[in-house]
Chain A
Amino acid sequence: MTAAVDGLSAHVVVPARGVDVRLTIGADECVALVGPNGAGKSTVVEALAGLLRTRDTSVVLAGRDLTAVPTHRRRVGLVAQRPDLFAHRTVAGNVAFGPRATGASGRRARDRAAAALAAVGASGLADRAPGTLSGGQAQRVAVARALATDPALLLLDEPTTALDVDARAEVRDALRTARTGRPTLLVTHDPLEAVALADRIVVLERGRVVEDGPTDVVLRRPRTPFSASFSGLVLVPGTATATGIAPDGGGELVSAAHGVPPGRPVVAALHPTAARIGRDGAGLARVVTAVEPRDGLVRVRAGDLVADVTVATAASLGLGAGVPVRIGVDPEEVSVYEPTEPAGGPAEPAGAPT
C-alpha cells in the first residue's frame, strides 16, 4: 500500500471483533475517532500500538513498516482513560522511564523528564508520589510520560473520560501541547474535545468507517445518526424542494441555507432546542411517540422530528405519547444537504497535509 510519507497509514483487520478499518493521519494532524461503544475504537488503538496483532493488519508510520515491529520498538505513545502511573516511582521517575528504556543516560533521561513535565505544566509535581495526585494531575503526568519518549505517533484513548469537568480542561491544555508536530489519534466521546484538538473526525460503527471529514463539517453537517447525536443534532431524512426539504414523514421545512436541486434525497440537520412545538397552528403535523427527560428539558420525539422543550411547556401542552402536535423550525436553524457529500468520503481518506 502507498503510505503517506510522514504520517500514519494503517489498515486494521481484526476478524474476531469484526473490525476492518483503513486510517491515515497526516504528519501534524489530529484525528478524532468517534463511535458508539463497541464500534472497535479501542481495537484500532491497540492494533496501532502493537498490543494487538493480527495477520492482515498493516501499519506504516513515517514511511516505516511497523507491521511486524513489537510495541516497545514502535515509538508509539499511549495515554488511556486511566493514568496507570507506576506506583513505585515518583512522578519524575515515571516520566523518565521511557527515555531510560530507550537508552538515554540517567542524566539525559532526567532532563527530558523535566522538559516533558514543564510542557504540561507539571514541573511542581516532580517529586510527588503518584498516589498523592489528583485525577487531572495524574493524567497530565501520564501525558508528560508519553511525551518524554518523543513518540512518532500519539494515541489518546478517551484521555479525559474519567475526569471531572475542571480536570478535563486542565488535561486538554496538556493534550494540545502533546499533539503538536506528530500524528495523533484521539478516541473521544466529547465533542468539545474533538473541537479543541482534532482536525478531522472519523466515525466508526460496527468496525467500519462510516464517515470521515474535517471536524467542523462533521459537526455541522453530520451524515450518520451517530455523528449527528455526537454534535447534539437530529437528522431528518427527506427530499429536496425549492425552498428546503420535504421530510419523509410529511410536510415541508424551509431552510435558509441550501443549494440542492429539488428532487434529490437529502437530510436536514437541526438542533432539537430550535424546534417550536404547539398543539395547533403552523408547522408539520406529527403525533408524539415518546417524551423523555433530558438535561433539565423534556425531549419530545414525534416520528422523524425531535423537539426539546421546557418542563413547563410540556406540561401546559399536555404532551404525552399519542398527542397530535405541530412542530415548526426557524429556517435559519435548518441545514439541508445531501447525505453523501462528493468530497472527502470515507473511501478516499485525506492525504497528509502539505
Chain B
Amino acid sequence: MPPRDRAVLHRTPVPWWLPVPAVVGGLFVVVPVLAMVGRVDWSSFVALVTSPASTTALGLSLGTAAAATGVAFVLGYPLAVLFARSTSRWVGVLRALVLLPLVLPPVVGGLALLAAFGRLGVLGAFLDEHGLRIAFTTTAVVMAQVFVSMPFLVSSIEGSLRTGGDRAERIAATLGAGPTRTFLTVTTPRVLPGITAGLVLCGARALGEFGATLTFAGSLQGVTRTLPLEVYLQREVDPDTAVALALVLVVVALVVIGTTTLRTRPVVA
C-alpha cells in the first residue's frame, strides 16, 4: 500500500502539456491488449486453451523459459560482476559484444547460433561427431532464449552492483571474509533487488522469444514449438485459438511481473 499521506508531499510540478503525450503513450500500450481481450471467444476459451497442442506449447514455454532464466543467471551474474569490478578499458568492448543481442534482430541471433551449433557449425560439427545434436531440439530452444535474454539480466545486475559501490565488500574483507564468502554473503544480498529485476526481465524476454527460436530450433510440436510459435501458427489457421493463447501469455506475464514487484518492495523505508 502506498502511504496515505502521499498527497501532502510537495511534488515537483510538471508542465501542463506533459500528461497529453503521457496518456497517449499509456493508451498505445493498453488499448491493443484490451482489444485483443475483447476478441476472445469466451464460450470456447477453455476448450481452446486446454487443447493438447496448447497445453503442450504452454508447458514447453514455461519449462524452457525457466531453464533459460536459470542458465542466464548462472552464466550472466558472474559476467555482471566481472564487468562491474574490472578497471580494464577492454571491458567496454567486451560489454558491447555481450550486450549485442539487446539490439540485434532475434532472427540474426538464431542464424548466429546455427552458424556455431548447427550440424555444419563450428562447434556443432564437433559435437555432432560425438553424437550430440543441438539444433532443432528443446536444448536449442533454451539456448536461443538464453542468447537473447541474458543481456537483460547482465545489465540489470551490473547497474545494481555499480550503484552500491564496494564499501561493504571492503569492510567484509577487513573482517576476514575471503572473496567467495564476501560474494555470497555480502554482495549477493546487497544486489538482490537488481537480481530479481534482472530475473524478471530475463524470464519475460525468454517467454516471449520467437525469432531466434524459430531460426535455430524450428517449430516441432512438443519439442520446440513454444507458445509464441503456437500463437503465430494458429493465427493462420485458427485466429480464435491464437487470441486465446495470446491472452494466456499476457496473464503469465502479468503474474510474473506482479509477484516480483510485490516482493521487491522494501520492507523498511
Contacts and interface: CB of A to CB of B under 8 A. Distances in A.
B186 to A, nearest CB: 6
Given A101-B181, A129-B268, A86 B176 contact: no
A149 B268 contact: no
Given A86-B186, A88-B189, A88-B190, A71 B173 contact: yes
A98 to B, nearest CB: 4
B175 to A, nearest CB: 4
A246 interface: no
B178 interface: yes
A101 B181 CA distance: 7
A145 B175 contact: yes
Contacts of A76: 174
Interface residues of A, number: 30
Interface string A124-146: 00000101100000000000011
Interface string B161-178: 000000110111111111
A49 interface: yes
B119 to A, nearest CB: 48
Nearest to A130: B268
Contact of B175 (A129, A132, A149, A155): A149
Q: With a 10 A CB-CB cut-off, give which of B167, B172, B182 has the most chain A CB atoms.
A: B172
Contact of A84 (B167, B173, B192): B167
A78 interface: yes
19 contacts: A49-B173, A51-B170, A71-B170, A71-B173, A71-B174, A72-B172, A72-B173, A72-B177, A78-B170, A78-B174, A86-B168, A87-B190, A97-B172, A98-B176, A101-B176, A101-B177, A101-B181, A102-B175, A146-B175
Instruction: Across the A-B interface, give the 7 residue pairs with the lowest CB-CB distance, nearest first.
Output: A98-B175, A101-B177, A71-B173, A102-B176, A78-B174, A88-B189, A101-B176
Interface of B: 167-168, 170-179, 181-182, 185-186, 189-190, 192, 268
Interface of A: 49-51, 70-78, 80, 82, 84, 86-88, 97-98, 101-102, 129, 131-132, 145-146, 149, 151, 155
Given A72-B172, A97-B177, A101-B176, 7 more contacts: A49-B174, A51-B170, A72-B176, A72-B178, A72-B182, A86-B168, A97-B185
